Structure 1
């Protein structure tokens, strides 16, 4: 494994947590590089050269630079942890379906709700709550009778959807109606290498 893998992150960003926790779960040698959002480090010329959107996380692996948390998961799985992504078209398509949920209804649901309550983001509370409920229902149904979202072992589908789902209560999104989701979170959190995201935050909006 390459010693060149560096993950630029903000500890209380769920998107950044996806990248970091996957590297830890998969045993990928990496360096975690904190980005000081409070001082605007994510808007510095050096950081913007890696990600013009000025958002964490960003992955460096030699000459390869990858932004977007889901893209980072795919890159790391393909490069270093192939067991975490199916090698069949149907399996990979199923993973992509959950990555889309993570980038869509989870991002605009439980992620947005957390941004409102924890980071004072000026977003629509009702829309976030309704969207979070839709995402939770899809996860609940997808986990019916199974331990993991795709196949019989954890994949990057689980990684992509975990962080903002587990931390949904910080955005006043209850997990009580979703027993399958709660059981899945518990399974995820005892995987070897798991490291939790901090549960408190200060007023900074991160990706």
Structure 2
């Protein structure tokens, strides 16, 4: 299949989704920002619906999110973000053509899959679902926030420029919901300003707040 951009899919993109999954939310958010027609298919991971044979046929790793876009079935939130940007963003804003900026976006996607998940993401999962918390999760979360804070004091978004990129979408959700895992955002004025910038974008949709959510 060609990766040339198209204005809209021929039919709604089906998103297999769990309401409290930050990985699923980042895809839902990006679909909304692109104004793409979407059909949300709830998957209750607490009841292990992601481990059923029909779901494993779409994603053998048994994880949400998964999208179906016509003949394309694709798993992994960062892979899905990349696909949607390459397929449907004719402007090139979200995945820049500039080699340096594209590399910076890729670096932040790696951060989203690494320190963001290992820190704020895992702390939140432990609190929400009563799992043992990695003793380093809060430390990792703080280290990442202290990297983001001075960077965002110098520029509006994670990749320099006047418009957000996939880097911001990949980092937004678990950063915004870090307080659900006991990670306060109060010391990080510039991070909180950046979150507000994302939330002000046309088409923004938030993730469901858990009962454990506290003020940032």
TM-score category, normalised to shorter length: over 0.9
1:140 alignment partner, one of 145, 149, 156: 149
Any conservation in 2 of the 1:109–1:132 contact (CA below 8 Å)?
yes
Any conservation in 1 of the 2:12–2:36 contact (CA below 8 Å)?
no
Matched pairs, number: 201
Aligned partners of 1:83 and 1:28: how far apart in 2? 16
Residues 139-160 of structure 1 deviation map (CA, whole Å, 9 limit, x = unaligned):
1132122111112201110000
Aligned partners of 2:196 and 2:27: how far apart in 1? 19
Q: If the length of structure 2 is used for normalisation, what is the TM-score?
A: 0.89
Alignment of 1:18-29 (within 5 A): 18-29=26-37
How far has the Cα of 1:91 moved from its partner? 1.0
Look up the match of 1:205.
none
Look up the match of 2:75.
67
Aligned partners of 1:63 and 1:138: how far apart in 2? 40
1:127 alignment partner, one of 115, 136, 141: 136
1:110 aligns with 2:133: no
Look up the match of 1:152.
162
Any conservation in 2 of the 1:108–1:131 contact (CA below 8 Å)?
yes
Look up the match of 1:97.
107
1:80 aligns with 2:91: no
- Mark the runs of 5 or more structure 2 residues left unpaired by the alignment: 1-7
Any conservation in 2 of the 1:175–1:182 contact (CA below 8 Å)?
yes
Any conservation in 2 of the 1:119–1:201 contact (CA below 8 Å)?
no
Aligned partners of 2:206 and 2:15: how far apart in 1? 16
Look up the match of 2:41.
33
Look up the match of 1:194.
204
Aligned partners of 2:78 and 2:26: how far apart in 1? 8
**Structure 2 SS opposite 1:130:** helix
1:11 aligns with 2:14: no
Residues 15-74 of structure 1 deviation map (CA, whole Å, 9 limit, x = unaligned):
100000010011122211111223322111110011111110011112222111111100
Q: If the length of structure 1 is used for normalisation, what is the TM-score?
A: 0.93
The two structures, once aligned, show a CA RMSD in angstroms of 1.4
Aligned partners of 2:131 and 2:42: how far apart in 1? 22
